[in-house]
Amino acid sequence: MPPPSSSPDADPTGFRVAVLGYGNQGRAHALNLRDAGATVTVGARSGPGARLAEADGFLPVSFDAAVATAELVIMALPDEVHGPVWSELEPHVPHGCSVGFIHGFSIHHRRLAPRADLGVILVAPKGPGPTLRSRFVKGQGIPALVGVHQTGDADAEQHLHRWGTGIGCARAALIPSSFAEECETDLFGEQAILCGGILALMRASFETLQDAGYSDEVAYIECIHELKQVVDLLYAQGPAAMHKAISNTAEFGAFVAAEQLDSKELRGQLQSLLHDIQSGAFAQRFAEDAEAGHPWFNAKRSAHDDHAIEAASAKVRQTMPWLENDT
């Protein structure tokens, strides 16, 4: 893993950056870059994001106005709107500017193709926006996968390092990668573990205890609430240290369960998820659902929000109101 960048070329002071969108990632990038000395303009449509940007001391403007004098334009918008936004925005982007992406999805899946004179770069922090911001404020950082897809007439490599340094990721590591690698591995990690697999396993375990007659609150505590304590150990010290921190009974049971759950069927399902991502089938379904107004997505969201886990979660969290600020 490469060391943090210390090149004078990586100094973000005076770097003219347009951040388009002010969600979790956009806000963190804008605030960190501003604190690092960059000249940041926020492009945001009227709404909660624009109001939050104003509260943070920015004067949000239209996308066209935001990019007018930028050296770097950061696309901090949802992946599914990159194409339509870019088709209207591109004529206003200055010659030799770099276009920056936080995720490899829209470039890898050809949702847009910036013109030849523009740099196309990737700085993908490996963590959510609030974590990127909180680590920066503490003088720390989180790693980012980085890459140059297109140099054009821009100082693309320099822009990449000024961006990665400005948001604090160079304090940890700027890991050389590509749009394809970041996109495919990020989607797989989200689906197999972080956002899909872990929730599916938690729900199945919760329902198993529920069906066996145990209370919803106890099932929630045992299968979901306690997860953070184990994840914190994994995050800070790794799997071996986590095993050393738990009881012999828990560790013995972990090995028993691993032998039962890690089956050929599971490996096959994981391979199927990866193939779905690599083939572009997942991206195509996502695009088609978005174009139709997200009917499948919204139905799944509603069903997920109505699960008994949510009621149990609310009851458990009511006993610990301080958890609201423990993020």
The answer on 73 and 40 residing in a single domain is: yes
The confidence score (pLDDT) of residue 8 equals 54
CATH number assigned to the domain comprising residue 142: 3.40.50.720
What's the number of domains the chain is made of?
A: 2
* 3-class secondary structure per residue, the chain: CCCCCCCHHHCCCCCEEEEECCCHHHHHHHHHHHHCCCEEEEECCCCHHHHHHHHCCCCCECHHHHHCCCCEEEECCCHHHHHHHHHHHHHHCCCCCEEEECCCHHHHCCCCCCCCCCEEEEEEECCCHHHHHHHHHCCCCCCEEEEEEECCCCCHHHHHHHHHHHCCHHHCCEEECCHHHHHHHHHHHHHHHHCCHHHHHHHHHHHHHHHCCCCHHHHHHHHHHCHHHHHHHHHHHCHHHHHHHCCHHHHHHHHHHHHHHCCHHHHHHHHHHHHHHHCCHHHHHHHHHHHCCCHHHHHHHHHHHCCHHHHHHHHHHHCCHHHHHCC
Looking at residue 6, its pLDDT comes to: 46
| Catalytic residue flag (residue 103) | yes
User: Is residue 266 domain-shared with residue 238, that is, in the same domain?
Assistant: yes
Domain that holds residue 79: 8-178
Domain shared by 136 and 260, yes or no: no
Does 160 share its domain with 246?
Answer: no
Q: Which of 103, 108, 109, 159 is catalytic?
A: 103
Last residue of a domain, one of 144, 178, 212: 178
Instruction: Give mean pLDDT in consecutive 10-residue pieces for the chain, a chain of 327 residues.
Output: 54 98 97 98 96 98 97 97 96 97 97 96 97 97 98 95 98 98 98 96 97 97 94 94 95 96 95 98 96 96 92 93 80
Residues 108 and 77 in one domain: yes
The pLDDT of residue 1 is 44
Query: Residue 324: its pLDDT value, please?
Result: 82
Q: Are residues 173 and 269 in the same domain?
A: no
